[in-house]
Chain A
Amino acid sequence: MKCSLPKTAGCILIALCSILQVQFAFAREGHKTRSSHRPASVIRFIIAAPPGNHPVYLFDKEVRGTVLDSANHPMSGVSVTVKDVANIGTTTDINGKFILNVPNDNAVLVFSMVGYASQEIPVKGKEVINLQLKSSAGSLDDVVVVAYGKQRKRDVIGSVTTITPSELKVPSSNLTTALAGRLAGVIAYQRSGEPGQDNAEFFIRGATTFGYKKDPLILIDGIEYTSTELARLQVDDIAQFSILKDATASAVYGARGANGVILVTTKEGKQGKAKINIRLENSISAPTKDVKLADPVTYMRMANEASITRGVLNVPYDQSKIDNTEAGVNKYMFPATDWKKELFKKSTINQRGNFSVSGGGGVANYFIAGSYTKDNGIMKVDKKNNFNNNIDLKTYNLRSNIGLKVTRTTDVMVRLYGSFDDYTGPITGGSQMYRNVMRSNPVLFPASFPLDAEHFGVHHILFGNAERGFFLNPYADMVRGYKQSTKSLMVAQFELKQDLSFLTQGLNFRAMTNTNRQSAFDVSRAYIPFYYTAPANSYDKVTNTYHLLGINPDGGTDFVDLLSGGGRTVVSTFYLEAAANYNRNFGKHGISAMVISILRSQLEAGASSLQESLPFRNQGLSGRTTYNYDNRYFAEFNFGYNGSERFYKTERFGFFPSVGGAWMVSNEKFFEPAKSIVTKLKLRGNYGMTGNDKIGDKEDRFFYLSEVRIGAPANAASFGTNGAYSRPGVSVSRYENYDITWETATNSTFGLEVGLFNKIEIIAEYFTEKRRNILMDRTLPSTLGLQVTPKANLGQAKSRSFEISVDYSSRFGRDLFVSARGNFTYAKNKFVAYEEPLYDEWYKSRIGHPVKQQWGYIAERLFVDDEEVSNSPTQTFGSRPVAGGDIKFRDVNRDGVINTLDQVPIGYPTSPEIVYGFGASLKYKGFDVSGFFQGSARSSFWIDVEATTPFVSYLYDGEKFGTPGTNPTFPTGTQLQNQLLKAYADNHWSESNRNLYALWPRLDNQLNGNNNQPSTWFMRNGDFLRLKQVELGYSLPTGMAKRIHLESLRVYSNATNLLNFSKFNIWDVEMGGNGLGYPVQKVINFGIQVGL
């Protein structure tokens, strides 16, 4: 059977129909043979008793009662259900009261509420049931969202971390920034603070793959999304947030779950009257740390020194210019431009608001939520322009989860979600503005000149520039225009649940289909700035006046025009899953089974090659069976049988099983005596495999195919006097390889869960993983003549991690509630196999070193003088001979030459091996206060020498020159000149101050190849500890709120990134080597939350 999407959907439909038919037939049979007093209906599905039992009489008994908490306050919103009977249930009202019709006297009522231990009470003839619910510090009956389902916390064998959504609340419109340090086993750091670009990078445990996808699978309501969608998610909409870390937990996701899984479910409505929740926030944000630059006079002196000290005769700045600038003679003629001040404000204000309505009746329940956030950048706007070039990111989300009870056994859920970004901002983005400032000359011209008599009538800004106008004026670049972009995500999801208890108790079937479309585009509009210069010969010393000269009177425009080359992306995804679940207890034996099949297809627009244009697909069949005996012994088996379009037929499917077991020691009889102290003791362990197909680069998915471009322009040749007969050539970007296969990870986890005094819960885990078949480049000699290096599944890496989390919560008296928690993750990895040349130097081998280990030279100190250079091992790097004041490297192999063979593993890996967080919160009556610290340790980063070398021109990756109008980063010919960091100006080697351990080596007027080598000189310790968040809040007492017709009211203020402790102080250490970009922000936030 040839398969296509509609047909596949058909397959599922047929499957569904056949189920319904069977059921219908069954119901009809029942009607014929059994009692006839029950109305028969062809469209209504009814609960049928298992064969042999008597028919069930529905709703013949009413039970009422009141639920109180431990302080004897009535509890509203407690869910009351009948055990093992779906669809009968209610919630308590404001006074903690409930009324429920139950089927019969044998029914068992289940009272549950998040954060409280649920209770089961048999009806047994009672008409009134009053009870107290106890709050649960890590309640054993908490439900945890696991792969394709939910499990009671005590049944969980795999490594799953859950977090209460409220703990993820940060005063940021970016949820990812809340992950670091809050979840054991998650490594996260934030490299930029630019609105819209400030996603934290995060990995689960030590990600050891080289593949293009290292971040975990993110599933929101079962559907895969990117971290951007996770970032946009509103914490208020989240019902549950879990992280699955090992094979047992994630095996059923097979290929997709190899790097861990983040599972989020959004809230659903509950029966009851509409509940409205509104939250409004307003925050102020400012950079955590400002990179300090040298003052303009120092800049000029050092620039001259950089030339003179390297023997270059003509210095860039005349002494008279320096003197005049220092004296402040004329700020337009002798400018000292503080570009940062010209471009950026000190702080900015952001707003967020969201609301939700939830509720439900007998047939339907609903949860509808909307949110609006407005993030502003920190750029200034020139009043002369009539447009806004500052970053203004507006995000709108609308979510609607509607559940319908189609029949007594059939539930339908429709989820619709839309997320929309409207962005305006600088044409090349906010980070670019920071980078531009770092590459602008502070003494050549002012940002703009005031209108003088001669130019009185002009409508444009007189932007400053010098000579022929090829210098970067970052102000002109910023205010010349703006970019508008929009991004949208539309999601439609349909879920169907069919209870099949009439076949056999505990069986149900469900199917879900989802389709979503993401699209984004941007347009940019700008004018071409008019540049002016005040030439040196126009300056009249006597009158202190200058004369302005237009540099590009023909080149500029005073009207805004469209820039070509806007980006556009469209991604469409289709997903389908169907599953059967079985879950039943037989006395002390509990068993469950699940089998699920999925299809996923994603198509992306804008492919640049045929192979890229082909859909990304996954197909899988997974299953899980669990068994427990007497809630003491647990066992679980999972498997994923997954297919990926990326591999050759023989390798296309992979089978990834896992097994696990747990022992709840505290449920044993012999443990009874200790139970008052150790309220819980659970040991668990598991072993399993996962597979990863996202290996290599996204561009070369089809490893079994060669990728040949017949007609490659880069390989063209031309003939004829004028080269008129030209033909493109043939290029190969991949050679076929039928053997490329899954990267597989075998992992095992040992966990220990301890509960103490019902107040402390400790979870400790030890995790090991071995990844095999890591795709990597072959080391083939160049003489083979291959256009690209073939790859093979050659690498192997091992990782280990230890995680511990401790939670403490306790109530003191009626009014005081204290909780504290901490977590710690130590993850380490290393290569076990790596194809590399045969080195004579043992330290060159990557084997045994972390995946993110860096190699570099050992910098001993700076050379004393040229004579020492000539008496030392030869260092030939870059374009100039090494001189005194340059970095001296150690000749590790003692062959008299410093070359790559002398590079040794230096520092820690670039991502931290230790991540930890701790915090506490305290609640007294209506007041609450909390604080949370986050830290990381054992990581190294390197100061980007090229980006910080003063006076040289540096182009970041991805930046390009081009003709204006085509939207390049810079117009062709733009001269970039790095600024001088104050730290370097204050502490560098100079001929007069030969500090052999200065921060910066001898100055140079160009990028110094020697000092730019990877070495320990610019290696820095990435450790830090920061006060990630503090919060102070006050909730109005319920009674008082009532009086003003509110359910609840809370006002609060919180702040992020207020304090930071680190050894590195040039910029925010968390930004690592990217310190000159848009700084990480500290935010102070004020909010109000209202429930109606």
Chain B
Amino acid sequence: MKKILLYTIILCGVFSSCKKYLDVVPDNIATIDYAFTLRTSAEKYLFNCFSYMPAHGNFNFNPAMSAGDEVWYMDPPLDVSGAVNFWNIARGQQNASDPWGDFWLGQRQGKNLWIAIRDCNIFLDNIHKVPDMQSYEKERWKAEVLFLKAYYQFYLMRMYGPIPLVKTNMPITSTPEEVKVSRDPVDSGFNYIVQLLDEAAANDNMPDRIIGTEALELGRITKTIVKAFKAKVLVTAASPLFNGNTDYPNFKTVAGVQLFNQTFNKSKWQRAVDACREAVDFCHANGHALFYMGPNSSFVVNDTLRKQLDLRGALNVKEANNNEIIWANTSSMADINMQRWTMPILATLAISGSGPKGILAPPIKMAELFYSKNGVPITEDKTWNFGQRFDLKTATAADKFYVKDGEQTVKLHFDREPRFYASMAFDRGIWLGNWVNNYDYTKALLYPKARRGEFSAKQGVSNWSVTGYWIKKLVSLSTAADKDGALTYENYPWPEIRLSDLYLLYAEALNELNGPGAETYKWINLVRQRAGLQSVEDSWTNFSNEPSKHTNQNGLRQIIHQERMIELAFEGQRYWDLKRWKEAHVVLNGPIAGWNTVATDATSYYKPVVLYSQAFNMRDYFWPIEIQEVLKNRNILQTPGW
């Protein structure tokens, strides 16, 4: 038996001497701590914090572009798989089982912004550890991440209303009870966001504006961005959706805390005005101004067409001398996809596989939104026959820079303000510039032909506009299709905030606080002036059938709202503005119409076809939280109505 023992011992010896056999993992495997041991990895973490910003420059990721009524798609939708998630919201299909565009869980084309906030907190908690960095740079980065943290919380609040504020991270080992946070009241939310922004702006290491280093740093957060964003936050906080919204009297936390303040508080508009003023002054001090096309551009244009260039170039920070863009999102370029999807096919053989697709289709209501050439709504213009807007008219030589002369289209497309022609393209409407270097008004101007069988109409399965309209505004001036359809294109950073946006916020806040007045008019008129329109006072007095509309607060409010929707059309603002103003249940409740795109002749083509009857319920002001999530944490109450 001794021998047995011996062999057993040998066997066991083999076994035990190799305990380390299972230690296959090298010692210095990457863990989160390694992110803060070097500047280069800390920089990656900084960029990581930025990476959660929704990619607004791509229609597939910008909820506001498809969730409202700015664009419509063919049914079944083709080649827009991402945007469909948001479009389903526009079609009243939002639900709590599997929410579309879910930014709470990061599903259905939403991004999980809680992860973004947690990562921002990790960055803020650890950046001080990096050994090989100067403190000024650490401070600068920290200020940027404070901004991002504010931005993400704002993004969530705009969607979900009251949210739990994640001021600090909870450890992963927290007990199940500890992680069951509650929603915080909207006022606390906005206050916290503003507190973060103030902290960021107070940091001297954050640059005022990126000047001189645009090639590498444009898009980094600056004080102008922080201040402009703060203005937007406070205008939102003062707006009806969040200021005295009595639609949710019983929306309280489990502990009984009222989540929506129940009384309108005018001092919120005072805060908004102060923030707007500070932002505008700061922007001016740093050289921001509305964009006008420089005289020395290579384009051969007349004044009419130059105005078009002013308006289209305003979005593009890359245009020479563009000081209008306050926040250019360089991580989300309006790239070839955005531009291809909005641009019509402009010649018979221009059907390259990578050429224009023209799928993003604005409905007729967007065409009706723009003012007449006199700068007042087409429903109000004394000189413009609204009732006959769908009648046909043949363009003359006088129209030739807007509508192809000798061609027929509806009266709706005549005598409109320059922004209409700069923002939208339509059947027989002029498309300035195409083919390479064709910005020459002396040459033949191009225009889409969209009736059945024509080159801009449906060819094949996709690649056509279901309404007969296209978004011209988002196509860079330097993007051109060649005759075979191949695109030469220019990406440009998505304009998150531009100066005209800020001016109109300022005008809105001033009107809400003080009503009409020279100060209020001043900011809206700056925007109108660049759009080639007369001042509010002159336009309404002379052309509106409500000539004194602008002199009372309510009338001016309507004017400012429409001005804002026109100026910022297709930039992903309208959807949020309509909600903020509590106008969505009016505006987003009605037919979506387009032209009869299957018709071959003008008469039948220009019959409005109802594509969809939109319905917007009161519950749609805020997005539902997925059901399981509410069950996992019973302290997070479901958004009312869902």
Chain A residues proximal to chain B, CB less than 8 Å? 1-3, 7-8, 11-12, 15, 18-19, 22, 312-314, 467-468, 470, 500, 503-504, 507, 509, 578-580, 582, 595-597, 599, 610-611, 614-615, 617, 619, 621, 643-645, 652, 702, 705-712, 714-732, 735-736, 779-787, 790, 837-839, 876-881, 897, 899-901, 952, 972-973, 975, 1005-1007, 1009
Tell whether, in the assembled complex, residue A617 and residue B21 are in contact, meaning their CB atoms are under 8 Å apart.
yes
Least Cβ distance of B268 to chain A in Å? 27
Tell whether, in the assembled complex, residue B47 and residue A729 are in contact, meaning their CB atoms are under 8 Å apart.
yes
Least Cβ distance of B361 to chain A in Å? 15
Given the interface pairs A716-B47, A729-B44, the reply to whether A783 lies near B96 with Cβ below 8 Å is: no
Least Cβ distance of B140 to chain A in Å? 13
Choose, from B193-201, B253-261, B306-314, B624-632, the stretch at the interface: B624-632
Tell whether, in the assembled complex, residue B214 and residue A879 are in contact, meaning their CB atoms are under 8 Å apart.
no
Contacts of A709 in B (CB 8 A): 30
A975 to B463, CA, bound (A): 13
7 new A-B contacts at CB < 8 Å, known A15-B11, A719-B220, A720-B214: A468-B353, A507-B4, A710-B30, A715-B51, A782-B104, A784-B118, A973-B353
Contacts of A314 in B (CB 8 A): 598
B133: CB under 8 A from chain A?
A: no
Closest to A711 in B: B44
Given the interface pairs A614-B25, A785-B118, the reply to whether A720 lies near B217 with Cβ below 8 Å is: yes
Tell whether, in the assembled complex, residue B331 and residue A595 are in contact, meaning their CB atoms are under 8 Å apart.
no
Contacts of A467 in B (CB 8 A): 459-461
* In-complex Cβ contact of A621 among B12, B41, B330 (8 A): B12
Q: Which of B6-56 contact A (CB under 8 A)?
A: 6-8, 10-15, 17-26, 29-32, 34-35, 41, 43-53
Given the interface pairs A595-B8, A645-B22, the reply to whether A729 lies near B51 with Cβ below 8 Å is: yes
* In-complex Cβ contact of B22 among A582, A644, A1005 (8 A): A644
B443: CB under 8 A from chain A?
A: no
B94: CB under 8 A from chain A?
A: yes
B640: CB under 8 A from chain A?
A: no
Least Cβ distance of A1008 to chain B in Å? 10
Name 30 interchain pairs, CB-CB below 8 A, sorted by A: A11-B18, A15-B10, A313-B598, A467-B460, A467-B461, A470-B461, A621-B12, A645-B25, A705-B31, A710-B35, A716-B51, A716-B331, A717-B331, A720-B219, A721-B493, A723-B330, A729-B48, A730-B32, A735-B172, A779-B628, A780-B179, A781-B180, A781-B633, A783-B114, A783-B166, A785-B118, A787-B115, A839-B631, A880-B93, A899-B627
B350: CB under 8 A from chain A?
A: no
Least Cβ distance of B478 to chain A in Å? 12
A349 to B632, CA, bound (A): 57
Q: Which 4 interchain pairs have the tightest Cβ spacing?
A: A785-B118, A729-B48, A1006-B76, A837-B631
Tell whether, in the assembled complex, residue A876 and residue B47 are in contact, meaning their CB atoms are under 8 Å apart.
no
Category for how many chain B residues contact A: 35 or more
Closest to A555 in B: B353
Given the interface pairs A710-B34, A735-B172, the reply to whether A3 lies near B4 with Cβ below 8 Å is: no
Contacts of B216 in A (CB 8 A): 719-720, 724-725
Tell whether, in the assembled complex, residue A837 and residue B632 are in contact, meaning their CB atoms are under 8 Å apart.
yes
A736 to B333, CA, bound (A): 36
Tell whether, in the assembled complex, residue B47 and residue A708 are in contact, meaning their CB atoms are under 8 Å apart.
no
Tell whether, in the assembled complex, residue B44 and residue A730 are in contact, meaning their CB atoms are under 8 Å apart.
yes
A621 to B8, CA, bound (A): 11
Tell whether, in the assembled complex, residue B119 and residue A785 are in contact, meaning their CB atoms are under 8 Å apart.
yes
Closest to B182 in A: A783
Given the interface pairs A718-B330, A881-B92, the reply to whether A781 lies near B7 with Cβ below 8 Å is: no
A978 to B7, CA, bound (A): 68
Tell whether, in the assembled complex, residue A615 and residue B24 are in contact, meaning their CB atoms are under 8 Å apart.
yes
Closest to A902 in B: B97
Least Cβ distance of B103 to chain A in Å? 10
Contacts of A312 in B (CB 8 A): 75
Contacts of B94 in A (CB 8 A): 876
- Interface digits, B155-187 against A, CB 8 Å rule (1 contact, 0 not)? 000000000101001101010100111000000
Tell whether, in the assembled complex, residue A504 and residue B333 are in contact, meaning their CB atoms are under 8 Å apart.
no
A902 to B51, CA, bound (A): 37
Tell whether, in the assembled complex, residue A313 and residue B8 are in contact, meaning their CB atoms are under 8 Å apart.
no
Given the interface pairs A614-B24, A782-B114, A877-B95, the reply to whether A720 lies near B330 with Cβ below 8 Å is: yes
* In-complex Cβ contact of A878 among B93, B215, B317, B328 (8 A): B93
Contacts of A897 in B (CB 8 A): 96
* In-complex Cβ contact of A722 among B51, B166, B215, B353 (8 A): B215
B117: CB under 8 A from chain A?
A: yes
Tell whether, in the assembled complex, residue B47 and residue A578 are in contact, meaning their CB atoms are under 8 Å apart.
no
Contacts of A1006 in B (CB 8 A): 75-77
Contacts of B119 in A (CB 8 A): 730, 785
Least Cβ distance of B38 to chain A in Å? 9
Q: Which of B615-638 contact A (CB under 8 A)?
A: 627-629, 631-634, 636
Given the interface pairs A18-B10, A727-B43, A785-B166, the reply to whether A837 lies near B628 with Cβ below 8 Å is: yes
Closest to B333 in A: A723
Tell whether, in the assembled complex, residue A610 and residue B93 are in contact, meaning their CB atoms are under 8 Å apart.
no
Contacts of A717 in B (CB 8 A): 47-48, 50-51, 53, 331
A433 to B105, CA, bound (A): 37
B277: CB under 8 A from chain A?
A: no
B1: CB under 8 A from chain A?
A: yes
A507 to B7, CA, bound (A): 11
B562: CB under 8 A from chain A?
A: no
Tell whether, in the assembled complex, residue A899 and residue B96 are in contact, meaning their CB atoms are under 8 Å apart.
yes
Closest to A600 in B: B21
Tell whether, in the assembled complex, residue B179 and residue A580 are in contact, meaning their CB atoms are under 8 Å apart.
no
Contacts of A615 in B (CB 8 A): 24
Least Cβ distance of B30 to chain A in Å? 5
Given the interface pairs A717-B47, A901-B627, the reply to whether A705 lies near B25 with Cβ below 8 Å is: yes
Tell whether, in the assembled complex, residue B215 and residue A720 are in contact, meaning their CB atoms are under 8 Å apart.
yes
Q: Find the residue from B95, B119, B220 having the highest chain A CB count within 10 A.
A: B95
* In-complex Cβ contact of A785 among B8, B51, B114, B331 (8 A): B114
A900 to B626, CA, bound (A): 10
Given the interface pairs A780-B179, A876-B93, the reply to whether A708 lies near B32 with Cβ below 8 Å is: yes
* In-complex Cβ contact of A719 among B106, B219, B318, B461 (8 A): B219
* In-complex Cβ contact of B4 among A580, A599, A705, A731 (8 A): A580
Tell whether, in the assembled complex, residue B48 and residue A715 are in contact, meaning their CB atoms are under 8 Å apart.
yes
Given the interface pairs A710-B35, A717-B48, the reply to whether A725 lies near B92 with Cβ below 8 Å is: no
B84: CB under 8 A from chain A?
A: yes
Tell whether, in the assembled complex, residue A710 and residue B41 are in contact, meaning their CB atoms are under 8 Å apart.
yes
Closest to B104 in A: A782
Tell whether, in the assembled complex, residue B29 and residue A617 are in contact, meaning their CB atoms are under 8 Å apart.
no
A1027 to B609, CA, bound (A): 60
Least Cβ distance of A648 to chain B in Å? 10
Closest to A616 in B: B24
Closest to B38 in A: A710
Contacts of B48 in A (CB 8 A): 712, 715, 717, 729-731
Tell whether, in the assembled complex, residue A879 and residue B88 are in contact, meaning their CB atoms are under 8 Å apart.
yes
B112: CB under 8 A from chain A?
A: yes
* In-complex Cβ contact of B215 among A621, A721, A729 (8 A): A721
A789 to B553, CA, bound (A): 52
Tell whether, in the assembled complex, residue A729 and residue B21 are in contact, meaning their CB atoms are under 8 Å apart.
no
* In-complex Cβ contact of A781 among B117, B214, B636 (8 A): B636
Tell whether, in the assembled complex, residue B91 and residue A880 are in contact, meaning their CB atoms are under 8 Å apart.
yes
Tell whether, in the assembled complex, residue B20 and residue A2 are in contact, meaning their CB atoms are under 8 Å apart.
yes
Tell whether, in the assembled complex, residue A784 and residue B460 are in contact, meaning their CB atoms are under 8 Å apart.
no
B491: CB under 8 A from chain A?
A: yes
Least Cβ distance of B320 to chain A in Å? 12
B65: CB under 8 A from chain A?
A: no
Tell whether, in the assembled complex, residue B353 and residue A11 are in contact, meaning their CB atoms are under 8 Å apart.
no
A19 to B43, CA, bound (A): 61
A972 to B115, CA, bound (A): 32
Given the interface pairs A11-B13, A597-B15, the reply to whether A468 lies near B351 with Cβ below 8 Å is: yes
Contacts of A611 in B (CB 8 A): 25, 29
Tell whether, in the assembled complex, residue A879 and residue B8 are in contact, meaning their CB atoms are under 8 Å apart.
no
Contacts of B317 in A (CB 8 A): 721
Tell whether, in the assembled complex, residue A878 and residue B330 are in contact, meaning their CB atoms are under 8 Å apart.
no
B218: CB under 8 A from chain A?
A: yes
